[in-house]
Amino acid sequence: MITDEHKKIYKSKVEAIKKVSASSYFIEIDCGFPVEVKAGQFISIYCDGLTLRRPFSVYSNNNGKIGVLFKERGQGTKYIKSLKENDFIDIMGPVGNGFNIKNKKALLIGAGIGVAPISFLKTKLDEQKIENTFIAGFLNKQEIPNGINADIFCTDDGSYGKEGNVLTGTEKIIEQYKPDIIYACGPLIVLKQVAQIGEKYNIETQIAMEKVMACGIGVCRGCVIDIKKDGKIVNATVCKDGPVFLGSEVVWQ
């Protein structure tokens, strides 16, 4: 969304907004011009009356129409949920570093709302004809957003697809599918386990971190994590240095 011709922060129009599962919503924002977005990048939305913007991974991009998945979790998402078609919305982005797409056989793992950037990544891989398998995990069938393009679904209660969380049986899938790279997004506990599995099988693992962000540009230092770099442990901001990191470089708590 950042080009020589356009500013990083600008007004856009709500193209569509709708409920897509028991607790998640989809909003499509028309930027008004063609936009290039890397899978894994995010946009930050200004919510009327609130000081801090709210960050959301990009779920889709249709020639400058940016799609986002979200759940109502506080004042910011409550405001976004209240928007209507043709309302104007103040956005910043895309910001952060996206996935480093490689021409390698890929295993994609998305848990909960973390399926958004992974679904977008799958679209990119399919466009480049890169072999991939996408595993998506949810609490139950009702939580699966309409239109998720996963190959394998898992639900904790077994109401749809395989029973268990997104990591149940993942090692067996790795042994059978033999991926050369893993891409993942979801809750911290899931990403930690994905990173450990990647190291166990000596597979490069790229993870998109989910973190509460304030400024979204690395200034406030509110989303700092520790990573290993050149034999040392250093600080990194999820919003600017990430949100995509190598699983092997994150210092997991």
- Condensed to tens digits (0 to 9), the pLDDT of residues 92-119 reads 989 899 999 999 999 999 999 999 999 9
Q: Tell me the one-letter amino acid at 41.
A: Q
Residue 53 burial (C-beta neighbours within 10 Å; 0-12, 13-18, 19+):
buried
In the chain, pLDDT over 90 holds for what percent of residues?
79
* Residue labelled with tokens 């799958």: 122
> What is the rounded distance in angstroms from the CA atom of residue 111 to the CA atom of residue 142?
14
Per CATH, the number for 211-253 is 2.10.240.10
Task: Identify the three-state secondary structure at position 118.
Answer: helix
Per CATH, the number for 99-209 is 3.40.50.80
**What average pLDDT score do residues 20-44 get?**
94
Strands (E), 102-156: 106-111, 132-138, 152-155
> DSSP character for 97?
B
Is residue 81's pLDDT more than 70? Answer: yes
Domain ranges in the chain are: 9-95, 99-209, 211-253
> What is the rounded distance in angstroms from the CA atom of residue 252 to the CA atom of residue 248?
9
Q: Which two tokens stand for residue 225?
A: 């994590």
Question: Residue 79 has what pLDDT?
Answer: 95
Find, among 116, 89, 83, the residue nearest to 17 by Cα.
Answer: 83
pLDDT tens for 136-194 read: 999 999 999 999 999 999 999 999 999 999 999 899 999 999 999 999 999 999 999 99
Per CATH, the homologous superfamily of domain 9-95 is: Translation factors (2.40.30.10)
> What is the rounded distance in angstroms from the CA atom of residue 127 to the CA atom of residue 62?
13
pTM of the full structure: 0.93
Task: Identify the three-state secondary structure at position 141.
Answer: helix
Beta bridge partners of 130: none
CB 234, CB 227: distance < 8 Å: yes
pLDDT tens for 223-234 read: 899 999 988 999
Is residue 6's pLDDT more than 60? Answer: no
Residues 6 or more apart whose Cβ sits within 8 Å of residue 31: 1, 10, 12, 64, 65, 66, 91
- Determine which of 39-43, 67-71, 218-222, 240-244 has the lowest per-residue pLDDT on average: 218-222
For the chain, the residue count is 253
Task: For strands 24-30 and 224-229, give the pairing.
Answer: unpaired
Question: Residue 214 has what pLDDT?
Answer: 67
Is residue 130's pLDDT more than 70? Answer: yes
- Work out the angle between the directed axes of helices 188-200 and 170-177 (0-180°, nearest 10): 40
Q: Which two tokens stand for residue 87?
A: 């309302």
CB 108, CB 132: distance < 8 Å: yes
Report, in angstroms and rounded to the nearest whole number, the Rg of the chain calculated over CA atoms.
18
> What is the rounded distance in angstroms from the CA atom of residue 30 to the CA atom of residue 28?
7
Question: Residue 124 has what pLDDT?
Answer: 97
